[in-house]
Amino acid sequence: MIRKVMPYLLPYRLPFLFALTQVFLMSACEILKPWPIKIVIDNVLGNKPIPWEFAAGFSHQTILILSCLGLVMIYLILGGITLLNNYTTIRIGQRMVNDLRRDIYSHLQRLSLAFHSRRQVGDLMYRVTADTYAIQSLTMNGVFPIVTAAALLGGMFFVMVKIDWQLTLLSLAVVPALFVTISLLSGRISTAATLARQQESEVYSIVQRGMSAMRIVQAFTKEEDEHRKFMTASDLSLDASLRLYTLQTFYSGVINVVMALGTAFVVWVGARHVLSGSLTVGEIVVFTTYLASLYAPINTISQTWGIIQGAKVGVQRVFEILDVERDIKEGHRTFPREGAKGEVAWEAVSFEYMPGQPILKKIDLHVQPGQRVAIVGPTGVGKSTMVSLLPRFYEPQAGRVLIDGTDIREFQTKSLRQQIAMVLQPPLVFPISVRENIAYGRPEATLEEVIEAARLARIHESIDRLPNKYDTVIGEQGATLSEGERQRITIARAILRNAPILILDEPTSSVDAETEALIMEGLNQLTRGRTTFIIAHRLSTVRQADVIIVVKGGEIVEKGDFEELVKGQGPFASLYRSQFSLEE
């Protein structure tokens, strides 16, 4: 844990050392706090001679005034340093949280879709937003207070030994009992903290799923069921949190009782020393004040240990994600400035999501630059999976995919994906302006280029009717647009990308026949000179394809152009006739 956390603390080592300096100054002030009271009791009220030569001629009134002023100054200095120390440590802790969030979010962005398909979005959100705060709790609210307490404890112990070494040793008699309490309860606190975070992340997951599927929830009147699921998870989270807080409170109570027993014992022995004349009243006041201050850092260390146990769980959950190795290994090659030529090949490619359940079986396909390839077949046979291997969303278990004769695993992921523009299902738009949505893949594009892409996608007129035209902000998940409008915006986004390879996954599935004809007209202009893959269930969209392949059972079972396949007696002709008769 220390090895993993230290890289996040090292960039702030100078502010951390500055904070440590403040700690020693605060400890010095804490040590000085009871001495003005001692001087008043022993040298003003008790008429004991003051031991310092420079103050030998001072009157009792002067000594009283100076002692009161000294007490005020000590508290003022202590308050100022404490304020500065709080700001310094909070600033360091927040920056560490920010750095850790940066790393985990960046890491999540680079993990494959296979990883994300196995994880709950809500759980990952909780790790990014909530668990990352644990690094601040672990260091600035955990380890740092222990360092502070240790410095204060050392100073107090030194002074107390000078006053009465026997009482000092007696005051430390409670320490073994404190460590026994820590060892007995820390494991239970850690377990309870783990369960509390897991239950809270489950609440996040349920909320995320419910909010993202609100239309379906309301359409099927499942509001009460979703509310029931949420309350069940929320109640479990509440129970886990209450168990954690109960353990921490019980832990704190036991510590306080142990220290109260130690204080009572020391006061009893100290009073007997005063009665015997070995201690003055002022000295016993200083000692009992130090005793409270001595137990305070011991208490801090004990209480902070409980905080560390809870924080450690959160940090472990974050590093559990950071320790996941990227299953998509980064290549070293880049494409030339002018981009890929567009020659694409699958060579004996096999793929499976789950072991023993193959989706693709030894796929062989060679596509020439500029060819338009339509991929058809029943749902679930691997059409989208096949083209998803091209930008390396997934890695095949066998075989290889090539662009321009080079295995795509040799290319840098960013360079590879810059060669590909995609229209995927379902159509995804962001709650930002229309212009930003279309220019998502090319943010530097001019407004004129954005409008031209929108015209090709046959969406410009719809955008022109919006209140702020291209500056209109789209609702969450595109709620302010129709399905067909969202689809055409994603097509405009792909057009603007101007990549040499296009992947169109059901590009006209959400539009009517008239709009489909307009979109296909624009896409026909776009696909000229570009290698294009069109996944389609509606066979009317594949008429202009140079090559049509039919996928069934994870294999390519038929290949040819439209006229050739329709005239044949194979799967495509059967599929075409059945679809045509349904449309009739």
The full DSSP string for 543-563 is TT-SEEEEEETTEEEEEE-HH
196 pLDDT tier (thresholds 50, 70, 90): confident
* Interhelix angle 281-322/121-129, nearest 10 degrees: 140
Average pLDDT over residues 357-375: 89
For the stretch 143-174, what's the b/e string if a residue is b when 16 or more beta carbons lie within 10 angstroms of its beta carbon?
bbbbebbebbbebbbebbeebbeebbebbbeb
Report which secondary-structure segment, H or E, holds 497: helix 483-497
Count of residues making up the chain:
584
458 pLDDT tier (thresholds 50, 70, 90): confident
User: Could you tell me the two tokens for 213?
Assistant: 């599927």
293 pLDDT tier (thresholds 50, 70, 90): low
Non-local (6+) Cβ contacts of 119 within 8 A are none
DSSP assignments along 243-264, one per residue? HHHHHHHHHHHHHHHHHHHHHH
583 pLDDT tier (thresholds 50, 70, 90): very low
CB 13 within 8 A of CB 48: no
Mean of all residue pLDDT scores within the chain? 80
| pLDDT tens-digit readout, 459-481 | 888 888 888 888 888 876 666 78
pTM above 0.85, yes or no: no
User: Could you tell me the two tokens for 136?
Assistant: 């601040």
Domains and CATH numbers, the chain: 2-322 (1.20.1560.10), 369-384+418-583 (3.40.50.300)
Partners of 402 in the β-ladder: 345, 407
User: Could you tell me the two tokens for 526?
Assistant: 């776009």
582 pLDDT tier (thresholds 50, 70, 90): very low
Q: 87, 77, 80, 79: which is closest to 19 by C-alpha?
A: 87
| pLDDT tens-digit readout, 124-150 | 887 888 888 888 877 777 777 777 777
| pLDDT tens-digit readout, 561-577 | 888 888 877 888 887 77
For the stretch 414-430, what's the b/e string if a residue is b when 16 or more beta carbons lie within 10 angstroms of its beta carbon?
ebbbbbbbbbbeebebe
Non-local (6+) Cβ contacts of 15 within 8 A are 88, 91, 92
CB 463 within 8 A of CB 470: yes
Residue type, 399: G
Average pLDDT over residues 532-560: 82
- Residues 334 and 209: their CA atoms lie apart, in Å, by 38
pLDDT for the residue 80? 92
Asked if pLDDT for residue 302 goes beyond 70, the answer is: no
Q: What percent of the chain has pLDDT over 90?
A: 5
CB 391 within 8 A of CB 475: no
Chain centre distance of CA 422? 27
> If you compute the radius of gyration of the chain from its CA atoms, what whole number of angstroms results?
36
> What do you get for the CA distance between the two ends of the chain, in Å?
67
pLDDT for the residue 401? 92
* Interhelix angle 60-110/121-129, nearest 10 degrees: 150
